[in-house]
């Protein structure tokens, strides 16, 4: 049984927590795209964990965790994350596997990321500054270094020297910081020695696990609307964040996918720049005042708005979502009225799917269906039938609009604040 979990919005749908809950029924969890631009927050009892590259399954002692070849890995950040887990008593030896084909994020990728953003002035993407775009750029240009290169110090040293030379020419041309290979070589060789026992062919491992009938959960990072092909381009990340991306990024054959779950927040948020038709600054103010909606990776306040069924229907279509897990329902607890955008108006026309041109999406006006709020605390509720009638009506309305059942509901950050319908 192989299950894919994808974000149905612009990321931060609470996937880390849903993965943590679903992991109870799985033998292994796989990350297949993105890098440490992702931030998955999981609470286990009183302890908070923020994971960036390591799959959230690491918090369940019996679960295997794999980081597939579609990811991009900052080896220093990953080594730091693993050491932090060890300090908190979590064992990773024999449980964590890193693809030898995953591309490495290098210090010069961060320089290029930040340099391009600074030069973009009014056209910034609002990236996380982690060097993700330039790393995927090098991968596509076939000049990248991969995790397997960490295993041979001489080869790694020569590759770093050659690439740094090229990149510094570009950096000097633009007036950006240059980087120095001796420091990078020392740091990356050390990280390579630390990570070596974890590096393997994860695609083959997934294949073997599948053949043995093991249950694997594939944990998407970011969300559908940040997908490099289907998202709100150019305000997207540089990988395929959709269900298909989990196959290409892990080596899971598409005919071995059994179920696709969409993670969805009860409202919408996005970090970084780009169009957001249902953006509602008042809702953002309310959520920020409650201490919610600050980025797990960068700490940036997230932009917030109403649920957008136009974008969600698109996410259902291109991912093939079989069921939804909804999170942060409790974020709406105090509101008297809740909106759901069911269509857009654009220059006198009604649209039920998002336009490709970014200028058109900026010009779209949402058409709202209004639901009555429930104005009561849902955080202690543990079953669908205990939810206030207006909360149930909101969820039922959503299911009708999206044509997909909501099977999992989350009313708080903790494991126990989750129930199934």
Contact 90, 59 (CB under 8 A): yes
Please indicate whether residue 180 is annotated as part of the active site.
no
Q: What token pair was written down for 318?
A: 């291109």
What sections of 212-292 are H helices per DSSP?
243-248, 281-289
CB of 324 to ligand IMP, least distance (A): 18
Question: In degrees rounded to 5, what are phi and psi of residue 371?
Answer: -115, 150
Mask for 236-255, x = binds ligand IMP (CB under 6 A): -xx-----------------
Contact 305, 278 (CB under 8 A): yes
Q: What token pair was written down for 116?
A: 């391009």
- Binding ligand IMP (rule: CB under 6 A), the pick from 222, 232, 339, 342 is 222
Q: How far apart are CA 354 and CA 310, in angstroms?
A: 7
Query: Which position among 20, 26, 27, 40 bears the catalytic label?
Result: 40
Q: How far apart are CA 321 and CA 406, in angstroms?
A: 11
Q: What angle (nearest 5°) sits at the alpha carbon of residue 365, between those of residues 398 and 349?
A: 100
Q: Give the range of 152-160, 235-243, 353-361, 392-400 binding ligand IMP by CB under 6 A.
A: 235-243
Complex with ligand IMP: residue 3 or 127, whichever CB lies closer: 127
Establish if 331 lies at the interface with ligand IMP (CB under 6 A). no
Complex with ligand IMP: residue 4 or 125, whichever CB lies closer: 125
Name which of residues 112 to 131 contact ligand IMP (CB under 6 A): 125-128, 130
CB of 334 to ligand IMP, least distance (A): 25
CB of 231 to ligand IMP, least distance (A): 9
Q: What token pair was written down for 248?
A: 């290409």
Complex with ligand IMP: residue 39 or 107, whichever CB lies closer: 39
Three-state secondary structure call for residue 325: strand
Q: Give the range of 34-42, 64-72, 104-112, 167-175 binding ligand IMP by CB under 6 A.
A: 34-42
- Binding ligand IMP (rule: CB under 6 A), the pick from 133, 192, 249, 251 is 133
Question: In degrees rounded to 5, what are phi and psi of residue 374?
Answer: -105, -20
Task: Compute the radius of gyration of the chain from its Cα atoms.
Answer: 21
Q: What token pair was written down for 232?
A: 């709100």
CB of 133 to ligand IMP, least distance (A): 5
Question: In degrees rounded to 5, what are phi and psi of residue 313?
Answer: -65, -35
Name the residue among 84, 38, 52 with its Cα closest to residue 239. 38
Please indicate whether residue 40 is annotated as part of the active site.
yes
Q: How far is the CA of 208 from the CAs of 95, 110, 215, 251, in angstroms? A: 15, 36, 12, 12
The residue at minimum Cβ distance from ligand IMP is 272
Q: Give the range of 35-43, 172-180, 308-316, 373-381 binding ligand IMP by CB under 6 A.
A: 35-43
- Binding ligand IMP (rule: CB under 6 A), the pick from 39, 70, 75, 144 is 39
Name which of residues 338 to 397 contact ligand IMP (CB under 6 A): none
Other C-beta atoms lying within 10 Å of the C-beta of residue 29: 26
CB of 222 to ligand IMP, least distance (A): 5
CB of 208 to ligand IMP, least distance (A): 30
Complex with ligand IMP: residue 37 or 56, whichever CB lies closer: 37
CB of 294 to ligand IMP, least distance (A): 12
List all residues 6 or more positions away from 399 whose beta carbon is below 8 Å from its beta carbon: 405, 406
Chain residues in the site for ligand IMP (CB under 6 A): 11-12, 37-39, 125-128, 130, 132-133, 221-222, 226, 235, 237-238, 271-272
| Residues taking part in catalysis | 12, 40
């Amino acid at each position: 049984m192989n299950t894919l979990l994808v974000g149905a919005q612009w990321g931060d749908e609470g996937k880390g927590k849903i993965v943590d809950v679903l992991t109870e029924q799985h033998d292994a969890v796989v990350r297949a795209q993105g890098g440490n631009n992702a931030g998955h927050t999981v609470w286990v009892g009183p302890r908070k964990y923020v994971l960036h590259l390591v799959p959230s399954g690491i918090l369940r002692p019996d679960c295997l965790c794999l980081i597939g070849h579609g990811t991009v890995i900052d080896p220093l950040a990953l080594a730091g994350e693993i050491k932090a887990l060890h300090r908190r008593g979590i064992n990773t030896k024999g449980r964590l596997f890193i693809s030898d084909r995953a591309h490495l994020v290098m210090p010069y990728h961060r320089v290029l990321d930040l340099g391009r953003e600074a030069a973009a002035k009014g056209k910034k993407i609002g990236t996380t500054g982690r060097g993700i775009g330039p790393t995927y750029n090098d991968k596509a240009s076939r000049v990248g270094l991969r995790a397997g290169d960490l295993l041979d110090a001489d080869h790694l040293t020569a590759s770093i020297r050659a690439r740094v030379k090229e990149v510094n020419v570009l950096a000097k041309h633009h007036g950006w910081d240059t980087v120095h290979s001796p420091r990078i070589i020392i740091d990356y060789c050390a990280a390579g020695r630390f990570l070596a026992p974890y590096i393997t062919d994860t695609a083959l491992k997934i294949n073997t696990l599948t053949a043995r009938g093991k249950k694997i959960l594939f944990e998407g990072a970011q969300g559908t609307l940040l997908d490099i092909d289907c998202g709100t381009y150019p305000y997207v990340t540089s990988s395929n964040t959709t269900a298909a991306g989990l196959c290409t990024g892990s080596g899971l054959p598409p005919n071995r996918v059994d179920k696709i779950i969409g993670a969805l927040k009860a409202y919408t948020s996005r970090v970084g720049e780009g169009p957001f038709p249902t953006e509602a600054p008042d809702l953002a103010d309310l959520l920020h005042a409650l201490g919610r909606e600050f980025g797990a990776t960068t700490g940036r306040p997230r932009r917030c708005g109403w649920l957008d069924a136009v974008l969600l229907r698109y996410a259902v279509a291109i991912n093939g979502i079989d069921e939804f897990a909804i999170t942060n329902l409790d974020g709406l607890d105090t509101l008297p009225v809740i909106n759901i955008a069911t269509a857009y108006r654009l220059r006198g026309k009604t649209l039920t799917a998002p336009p490709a041109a970014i200028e058109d999406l900026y010009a779209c006006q949402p058409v709202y269906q209004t639901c009555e709020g429930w104005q009561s605390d849902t955080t202690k509720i543990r079953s669908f039938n205990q939810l206030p009638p207006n909360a149930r009506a909101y969820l039922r309305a959503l299911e009708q609009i999206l044509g997909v059942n909501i099977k999992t509901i989350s009313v708080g950050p903790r494991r126990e604040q989750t129930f199934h319908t």
